[in-house]
Structures are given as C-alpha cells and as structure tokens.
Amino acid sequence: MREKIVIVDDDTETRKLLIQSLLECGYDAIGYAQCGQALVSFIHSQDPDLIILDLSMPGADGLNLCAELRNFCDKPVLCTSQHTEDDLRIEALNRGADEFIAKPSSFEVWLARIRAHLRRYKRAFPVNQRHLIVYPGLQIDPTTHSVIAYGKEVSLSSKEFQLLIVLAKNPNRVFHIETLYDLIWKDIKHGDVRTVMVHIYNLRQKIEKIPSEPLYILTVRGAGYKFNGSVSLLIESMDA
C-alpha cells in the first residue's frame, strides 16, 4: 500500500508541484488548503502517514493547529514557512512538529526529509505494534476501538473511548474540562461541559481497579484532568 502524505498549504502552485512530484515518487499525495476544525476533521478522515503543514496560512494559527494535530495524531508532522526566525522554528518543535523546513526548499530536500521521517516512524512503530497504547494493566487499540483493563475487555461508548485516547496519548498533560469538551464534543456548540465529568466518572468505573482511587485518570484540582504519566508507557507487540 502506498504511503499517504497530506500537504496543507494555501499556495496553489507550491501545493500542486509538491503533490505531483510525490505522486511520481510513488506516494499517495493529497493537498488541502483549509485550516481550523475543517483541517482536523480532514486529517481524522484521511489518517495519513505524514503531514506537511504550512504555518503561515492566512487566518490560521499554524502553531496551534500543529499542537491540535498532536492531540490525536502520532504520525510525522513537518512544518514549513517562509518565515525562518529561530523563535518560530523552536516554537514549532515545542508544539509537536517533528521538523521545520524553510521555504523555499528544493524537492530533493523535501524528499530526503520525508523518507527519513517515514523510516524513523516505521522503526519506532512496526506494523504489528503501530497505534497500540499499552500501560501496565491497560491496553488500548485505536484501530479496533478495543480496551483491555486488568486482563478483561471493557465496553466503552464512543465519547468515552475518544476521551481515553486523548488523555492516554498525552500523559501528564493537564486538560481543562472546557478543552476536553471542545475536542470531543466539537459538533455540539452549546452543550453542558459537565458531561465531561460524567464521562470521566463512567470511564473510571470501567478501567480503574478502584474507581474511587484512580490510577490512570487523575483529577487536578482547579484545573481539570490528566493521565498518570508515572505509569510507564510500554509499546508491545500485538502478539505479546
């Protein structure tokens, strides 16, 4: 299967040239020129192997977009911009970018960096391990939407599963209740954020050994919730 690359850039000529060159090299290249929530939904639907993100698209905060992609996507993200100040490069990397490539750069440079990041991802996450999130006592498979807690498969609702994925992929990061609501219930603009608390309660009942003394999903008083990063993250084979 050909590896899929999404190029997010509002510059039509740059986007078309890069797409055509990547297609000729055997990749499945797709362009996208929108930003904001439309981009997030598009990335969700396409599940690309690598993302190229222009940080300087009009009307968009490219750095925030990069950080939002990192909330759910572990694939390589290569950021680019005509602005090459050190502060922008550093902030892009701090927000989750795997690399910053200045504009303009030759296609040979792009191709070399794309190949390098795809190779690195494949080595880090072999096919039989890819996407699997494993903590002591807890195994989450985003591809099959299955969760095993303490050796028993548990049934989660769609929203419960989405909440668990966001938290488990970002150990120790504190998520405000409003942030979680915006991420998971993004299509419901005027709902009650207290629904997050209800879903967290239900999640704990299903995955925690002692729900009243949670090991995985911790409450940060006055702030929100976080996944306990002191529980060492292990990536294990599906056959282990």
Provide the CATH number for the domain around residue 61: 3.40.50.2300
What's the average model confidence in pLDDT over 154-180? 90
Examine residue 65 and state whether it is found in any structural domain, yes or no: yes
Q: 103 and 29 in one domain?
A: yes
Q: 148 and 110 in one domain?
A: no
At which residue do the structure tokens 């938290």 appear? Answer: 167
State which of 124, 155, 187 marks the end of a domain: 124
Q: 195 and 109 in one domain?
A: no
pLDDT digits (tens, 9 = 90+) for 14-33: 899 999 999 999 999 999 98
Q: 39 and 58 in one domain?
A: yes
Averaging pLDDT over each range in 28-37, 62-71, 142-151, 211-220, which range is the top one?
211-220
Per-residue confidence band for 239, with pLDDT thresholds at 50, 70 and 90: very low
Output 77 or 238, whichever has higher pLDDT.
77
CA distance 72 to 150: 24
Output 90 or 143, whichever has higher pLDDT.
90
pLDDT digits (tens, 9 = 90+) for 47-74: 899 999 999 887 778 888 888 887 667 7
The tally of domains found in the chain comes to 2
Q: 154 and 81 in one domain?
A: no
Q: Is the pTM of this model over 0.85?
A: no
Q: 102 and 37 in one domain?
A: yes
Examine residue 238 and state whether it is found in any structural domain, yes or no: no
pLDDT at 163: 93
Lowest mean pLDDT, pick from 52-66, 80-94, 214-228: 52-66
Q: 120 and 8 in one domain?
A: yes
Boundaries of domain holding 223:
133-227
Q: 103 and 139 in one domain?
A: no
Structure tokens of 92?
Answer: 């892009």
Q: 22 and 79 in one domain?
A: yes
Examine residue 236 and state whether it is found in any structural domain, yes or no: no
Q: 146 and 109 in one domain?
A: no
Residue 1 has pLDDT above 80, yes or no: no
Q: Identity (one letter) of the amino acid at 174?
A: V
pLDDT at 217: 96
Give how far Cα 73 sits from Cα of 43, 51, 107, 119, Å: 9, 10, 25, 17
Q: 78 and 15 in one domain?
A: yes
Helical spans, DSSP H, in 125-221: 158-168, 177-184, 194-207
The mean predicted confidence, pLDDT, of the chain is: 85
Residue 191 has pLDDT above 80, yes or no: no
Examine residue 202 and state whether it is found in any structural domain, yes or no: yes
CATH code, domain carrying 189: 1.10.10.10
State which of 92, 124, 156 marks the end of a domain: 124
Q: 147 and 99 in one domain?
A: no
CA distance 195 to 106: 49
Q: Could you give the count of Cα atoms lying within 13 Å of 145 in the half-sphere of its Cβ?
A: 9
